[in-house]
Amino acid sequence: MRFFLLFLCIVSVYAKTVDAEYKVTFGLFGTVGKAYAHFESNATNYAISIKAKAAGIAKVFANNRVEEYGSQGTVTKEGILKPKIFYRLKQTSKRRDFKKYIFDYEKKTITLLTDKEKYGVFHTRNKEILSYFTKNDVLTLYYNLHFYLRPNQNLYRFQAVGGSEQDGKIDVKILQGKERAKIQKLLKVDGLYLAVKLYQKIFASKEGQLYVVLGKDNIAKRGLLKDVIFFGDVKGILVKKEVRE
């Protein structure tokens, strides 16, 4: 379910408040998940929260799985989001896994606090310093994306907490020509087509990429993860959005 993350996190930073709802579908199984995203900001601070949960038959197989992601921090004068805290919670009826990342810009370090529990079996806590420093988490990266895009450049490599476990690596490609047409035939919507690779095992589809379509308002309209083992193509679809200034 972690691919919910990218379906939800690309929203215009200029809006004060954005609420979006998505569904994830898979062929004959219909809707297998739902996700809800909330973004709010003022002149100096922002907060992002995302909650995703299994639905339908997937709810049974996933042990009532719920995932939450969040980012909190400041907004620069230029409008760039600068995270102070990024967190991720995974929870089922059998276990809980919570990770919290704390950014220290003076020391240029990111501290990871981990809290894992398998109910009735074990409960562990750990603290470590990441081997790299970056000024983005995976949520702020996509809010900030328009600051990084350049004319005549289609392929980008970024670094953000939530990307590769080793160094935060994330690749983003703007699709054009035949490559874009191929994915558009599957998603059947207009917009800016992106291919995103997070270098995580859970994203190990045959082509290893998540495809995201942005609308004119910079809100993700649809997403596609191709050739997932046991599932095939999995789609994320925007079903409701509300933008308030």
Instruction: Return d(Cα 208, Cα 210) in angstroms, integer.
Output: 7
Six-digit token string for 16: 């004060």
Domain boundaries, the chain: 4-231
Query: What is the mean predicted confidence (pLDDT) over 10-35?
Result: 72
Mind listing the pLDDT tens digit for each residue in 112-132? 999 999 988 889 999 999 999
Instruction: Return d(Cα 227, Cα 224) in angstroms, integer.
Output: 10
The pTM for the full model equals 0.86
Residue 93: predicted pLDDT? 85
More confident residue, 231 or 97: 97
What DSSP string describes 161-188?
Answer: BTS-TTT-EEEEEE--HHHHHHHHHHH-
Mind listing the pLDDT tens digit for each residue in 190-201? 999 999 888 876
